[in-house]
Amino acid sequence: MNWQYDKPEDIEKRSFEIIRRELAPDMPKLDPILEAVLIRVIHATADFSFVQNLCASEGAALLAIQALREGTSIVTDTRMAQAGIDKVRLGKFGAEVYCFMADSDVAESAKKNGTTRALAAMDKAAALGKPLIFAIGNAPTALGRLFDLHSRGLLMAPLIIGVPVGFVNVMESKEKLMAGTAPYITVRGRKGGSPVAAAICNALLRMAEEAL
Amino acid sequence: MNWQYDKPEDIEKRSFEIIRRELAPDMPKLDPILEAVLIRVIHATADFSFVQNLCASEGAALLAIQALREGTSIVTDTRMAQAGIDKVRLGKFGAEVYCFMADSDVAESAKKNGTTRALAAMDKAAALGKPLIFAIGNAPTALGRLFDLHSRGLLMAPLIIGVPVGFVNVMESKEKLMAGTAPYITVRGRKGGSPVAAAICNALLRMAEEAL
């Protein structure tokens, strides 16, 4: 037997021990929920720089856990994040993950209004008329639209996870989110992406399950 | 109009300009194909540390482009990478992306043999009996199995993209890959993941298309 036969659950446990040990000297004072989120983000990326950049509005993570326990579904702007979010755990609460990016009505609406499909996908989500947790891993335009909809009282969002990755408009969109009043979790700077969005959702889902 | 109405193709162009400008002082001497791969990896992650760690066996990227043009399909170990790989471009060559992780026969075989599902999924891919490009973004056990199959002459792989991410067995699996004789692209160290695997595939796919 060699390492190729290690069990996935053992590997995860050892990974978390390594992350906690290496993080210890730099660990900021975080509330325990956000600490669990941070560790899962580092687990997904092997990137310790998130310790400096992960931040959230007051009480946002706890609010999200409550919302998940009440069966709130998740909307994301990428198929990759949709693939990465733990649908088995989410299903236990009767919830699901939506990604409207490839929908034909979204493509039509984007074309008609001269917007990105990501923006039109957020409009479609808001029009569902129910509370949703948003997990944005790619499109600054999606995040900007959520900010606008929320400012105008047109969005029910117990949490906006705003972690687009990239070089253009990304930081602007995150600053907008942080300046607003919607509950958020974000990562300052250029980094983020689908695995970060999925890792944040999955960390919250595990805590929602433990709280049962 | 504001940045929320920028077009995705303009954003991508500006992003690439920023990456090239910021990379310029540190840019190593890379062959042009690998440089294009590196830039797309940085685009997907906003992480410039890949400039020090991306590496490939001699001629591997060119070989992969030729294989893609000949209609070689891609196998990956994660649904996230499968979601992120450009299936429209791949389809133009008559190829597709396989991910066998959730297949019931893979689960059964893993259980019977006491292996991970990732390892069993590689056995299933190898048994297809045709050349495949492997894009491993998560499981060191998958990468280890590919190495073993290749060493025993049981694998047709014009390219192994070996970029698992994480803290346990990840570096061991990459070192094994780099010490072997299969054509590879990898990232030294702990980083990698599904977006990196998908970005490498997508960079190669674009070049395969341009070469037409």
Contact between A145 and B4 using a beta-carbon 8 Å cutoff: yes
pLDDT 10s digits, A180-190:
999 999 999 99
* Most A-contacting residue of B5, B80, B109 (CB-CB within 10 A), to test interface: B80
Contacts of residue A27, Cβ cutoff 8 Å, sequence gap at least 6: A35, A51
Instruction: Read off the tokens for B57.
Output: 């066996």
Pick the catalytic residue: A15, A23, A43, A71? A43
Contacts of residue A100, Cβ cutoff 8 Å, sequence gap at least 6: A75, A106, A121, A124, A125
In A, residues 9-48, which contact B (CB 8 Å cutoff)? Answer: 11, 14-15, 18-19, 43-47
**pLDDT at B8 > cutoff 90:** no
Confidence of residue A212 (pLDDT cuts 50, 70, 90): low
* Most B-contacting residue of A6, A167, A174 (CB-CB within 10 A), to test interface: A167
pLDDT 10s digits, B11-33:
899 999 999 999 988 787 888 99
What is the total residue count of chain B?
212
**pLDDT at A1 > cutoff 70:** no
pLDDT 10s digits, B90-110:
999 999 999 999 999 999 999
Closest chain B C-alpha to A11 CA, distance in angstroms: 6
Interface A-B: count of C-beta contacts within 8 A? 135
Q: Which residues of A touch B114 (CB under 8 A)?
A: 5
Mean of pLDDT values over B55-80:
97
Q: What is the mean pLDDT of chain A?
A: 94
In B, residues 117-136, which contact A (CB 8 Å cutoff)? Answer: 119
Nearest CA in chain B to A22: B167
pLDDT of residue A130: 96
Q: List the domains of chain A with CATH numbers.
A: 53-210 (3.40.50.10230)
Q: Which residues of B touch A192 (CB under 8 A)?
A: 46
pLDDT 10s digits, A119-141:
999 999 999 999 999 999 999 99
Inform me whether the C-beta atom of residue B193 falls under 8 Å from chain A C-beta atoms.
yes
| ipTM computed for the complex | 0.93
Mean of pLDDT values over B136-160:
96
* Residue with the larger pLDDT of the pair B30 and A211: B30
Instruction: Read off the tokens for A49.
Output: 């720089």
pLDDT 10s digits, A25-42:
878 788 899 999 999 999
Confidence of residue B6 (pLDDT cuts 50, 70, 90): confident
In B, residues 48-77, which contact A (CB 8 Å cutoff)? Answer: none
Which strands, in side-by-side order, build the sheet including A184-187? Answer: A54-56, A184-187, A159-162, A132-136, A73-76, A97-98
**pLDDT at B1 > cutoff 60:** no
Among A178, A183, A169, A199, which residue's Cα sits nearest to residue A84? A199
pLDDT of residue A27: 80
Confidence of residue B56 (pLDDT cuts 50, 70, 90): very high
pLDDT 10s digits, A143-163:
999 999 999 999 999 999 999
Which strands, in side-by-side order, build the sheet including B73-76? Answer: B54-56, B184-187, B159-162, B132-136, B73-76, B97-98
pLDDT of residue B9: 84
pLDDT of residue B211: 67
